[in-house]
Amino acid sequence: MACCIKIMPNPVPPGGPLVAVLVYDGLCTFEFGVAYEVFGLPRPEIGEGWYRYVTAAIEPGPLCAAGGLMVGASAGLEVLAQADLIVVPGWRGIDAPVPEELLAHLQAAHARGARVMSLCSGIAVLAACGFLDGRAATTHWRYAEAIGARYPAIRLDPDRLYVDLGDVLTVAGSAAGIDLCLHVVRRDFGPDIANAVARRLVVPPHRDGGQAQFIERPMPREREAARLGPLIDWMRQNLGQPHRIETIAARSGMSQRTFQRRFEETTGLPPGEWLVVERLRLAREQLERNRDVTLDDVAAECGFGSLETMRHHFRKRMGVSPAAYRARFLGPQASRPLSRRAVA
């Protein structure tokens, strides 16, 4: 027998961004739960200004959600006119039509400046709105072919975990929605708050959007995985060191060839690539927090060796320079590159 659940907005301090999550017949409960866990739970430890949360029904209820739940929402589509962020938590079918009324409300909200975000199959709604024409996007790998055939104007990249275009955000599979939601928190409130939310969820604080959706690898042998775990932790704590392959292989007690193979089986990346990803993560955290530290010092502390090397990896993987990345988080005053050599 179905259980009737009334979903009400949480009491939160006024002034924070208003997040509206769509509710529809056939609601994807996992994706909906991800959005609620990140944006809807009260977080008094964070203080004032946290997200306000509302659910928006796209059609009259009662609505049936996946898993046999009957779901009621706290508002209708009219609330989208006030929303700062609208979340489409999946969709009832990748080829299912999108109601014209929903399209109109989303387009109006987007036109006035609201961000619109899809989780997994929710890309079907954003695509139907025309938000992705000629632009980059991602979705679950199993939906990529169908979306690409129906909307050929989208530059679909199913190898990405998520894509943030600023006004429109798309994500791959269901669990990757956690990564995108934490990314949004990171952009809105900074890395410390995002890390605090991740700790409460007991998930890693950040996976870069360019990471592959899945890696078909055999499970590492238990004995060797046990040796690699402490080594990986040590490498993360000492990213400023050179970490030559022969040195870290010897520290693991493996030959270089065995170490490289087992490391990739465990992490999904070759050691050199893994180090670049981790160093970029650390550099981003430094740039997001501190406008006074020089770019040279960030490059040295994170193990890049030189500002030129760090700038190369930022441009290649992030599409921006380190100085421009810092300006995103700390405002235009941070856009001046604080290098000892004043390198642009």
For range 73-86, the mean pLDDT: 95
Model confidence over 177-187: pLDDT tens digits?
998 999 999 88
What share of the chain has pLDDT > 70, as a percent? 85
Q: How many CB atoms lie within 10 A of CB 50?
A: 24
* The pLDDT value given to residue 55: 95
pLDDT band of residue 339 (cuts 50, 70, 90) is: very low
* The pLDDT value given to residue 313: 93
In angstroms, the first-to-last Cα distance of the chain is 65
Q: What pTM, to 2 d.p., does this model score?
A: 0.69
For range 96-111, the mean pLDDT: 97
For range 319-335, the mean pLDDT: 75
Model confidence over 186-235: pLDDT tens digits?
889 888 888 889 888 877 665 654 444 343 444 444 455 567 888 998 99
* The pLDDT value given to residue 329: 74
Model confidence over 306-319: pLDDT tens digits?
999 999 999 888 77
For range 270-296, the mean pLDDT: 90
What share of the chain has pLDDT > 90, as a percent? 56
**Distance of alpha carbon 300 from alpha carbon 175, whole angstroms:** 34
Long-range contacts formed by 313-322: CB under 8 A, 24+ apart: 313/276, 313/279, 313/280, 314/280, 314/283, 317/208, 317/210, 317/276, 317/280, 318/280, 322/283, 322/287, 322/295, 322/298
pLDDT band of residue 68 (cuts 50, 70, 90) is: confident
Closest CA to 279 of 331, 245, 314: 314
Model confidence over 10-41: pLDDT tens digits?
433 356 899 999 999 999 999 999 999 999 99
Residue scoring higher pLDDT (264 or 204): 264
Which range among 69-73, 111-115, 158-162, 333-337 shows the weakest confidence by mean pLDDT? 333-337
Residue scoring higher pLDDT (198 or 332): 198
Instruction: Taking the CA atoms of 208, 214, 220 and 226 in sequence, report the sign of the dihedral they define.
Output: positive
What residues are paired with 115 via a beta bridge? 85
